[in-house]
Amino acid sequence: MKKIATLLTLLLLLPVFSGCGSSTIKEEITEKTVDENLITVGFSQLGAESDWRNTNTASMQEAFTRENGYDLIYKNGQQKQANQITAVRMFIQQGVDYIVLAPATEAGWDSVLAEARDADIPVILVDRRVDVADKSLYSCWVGSDFELEAKKMTEWLKQFTQVRNIDPEELHIVNIQGTSGSTAQIGRTRGLANACRENGWDLMTEVDGDFTENKGREVMAAMLKGYDNINVVYCENDNMAIGAIDALEAAGKKVGSNIKNGEVMVVSFDGVNELSREYCREGKISCIAECNPLHGPRVSALIESLERGETPETFNYVDEKIFSSLSTVKSITVDGVTYEVEKP
């Protein structure tokens, strides 16, 4: 006889804004529903640092519903790896069928993932990756090619400056980085550093903005005190770009693409937050490389594949676009693939 004891604990319902439509996310779901007909998924989300992240959480919660055959246990790691490790251990104790992990940073996962394997619980990574010696500690991953996003952005910048007759040595770039040691930061930082070296651009400094608007504002204000010739601000996400634009404008700078006339160009990543898309339409953000957060159905498809006894691809990449309201660059070609530059 089917045993059903519903013990769901929904601590809070928070409204979430996203470019993909309004939604709500449940702050925590901590107890398992004992229903043998449902697939139990323990999802350790890293935090709620950005609009991208909240949209990603909503996508996961919308995919893993009881109607879809799932019992979701959701934990918010509050940007701390220690919290995420505790959550994974809790999932193991609860005997979930699958662990889905969106890791904050790449290092430090070997032990807890070995514990999951010892308990025969498959681990699926979403968004960022883990750096573990034994790659069989996780089943598969789905997310973005963060270095490709950076290559698209820097190719756009290269073409833009060539068309506008801006010499490479005229570019004075600062990088407001995402959370140090996260896959998104590593890929986007590497892509910029390589492009600066190859093109002869001046990469003046790189500072950690932790993917948050407040940190973006704070580090931009500090950099403006140290450097008086910044003319490109490369922000590793839109929330930090919004904060940086606040700081630039508060310091009396004009934000825009007319570098030769003293404007400071801001470029960023994600394309989820509606204000950043509006800024991109207005030209305050010159270019956005998309980072797609809608991974819920993708992770669910991977679990269904595992349920059928299949072995999905280990690395599953998402297709992404590039946006600018400037018509200077119509398309870019990176690694042999051409991308139209779309309107935001």
Where on the chain is the footprint of ligand AHR (CB under 6 A)? Answer: 49-50, 52-53, 127-128, 184, 211, 237, 269-270, 291
| Cβ at position 259, least distance to ligand AHR in Å | 25
39/104 with CB nearer ligand AHR: 104
92/272 with CB nearer ligand AHR: 272
CB 84 within 8 A of CB 60: no
196/288 with CB nearer ligand AHR: 288
| Cβ at position 107, least distance to ligand AHR in Å | 15
In this structure, the number of other CB atoms found within 10 A of the CB of residue 43 comes to: 28
Q: What Rg do the C-alpha atoms of the chain give, in angstroms?
A: 21
52/70 with CB nearer ligand AHR: 52
| Cβ at position 179, least distance to ligand AHR in Å | 7
| Cβ at position 168, least distance to ligand AHR in Å | 27
**Cα gap 45→195, rounded to integer Å:** 32
Beta-bridge partners for 76: 45
| Cβ at position 61, least distance to ligand AHR in Å | 17
CB 88 within 8 A of CB 119: no
| Cβ at position 298, least distance to ligand AHR in Å | 14
| Backbone φ, ψ for residue 127 (5° rounding) | 75, -90
71/320 with CB nearer ligand AHR: 320
Instruction: Kindly give the interhelix angle for 81-94 and 110-118, rounded to the nearest 10 degrees.
Output: 10
70/141 with CB nearer ligand AHR: 141
187/256 with CB nearer ligand AHR: 187
49/206 with CB nearer ligand AHR: 49
CB 17 within 8 A of CB 47: no
**Cα gap 299→60, rounded to integer Å:** 8
| Cβ at position 223, least distance to ligand AHR in Å | 20
| Cβ at position 220, least distance to ligand AHR in Å | 17
| Cβ at position 53, least distance to ligand AHR in Å | 5
105/161 with CB nearer ligand AHR: 105
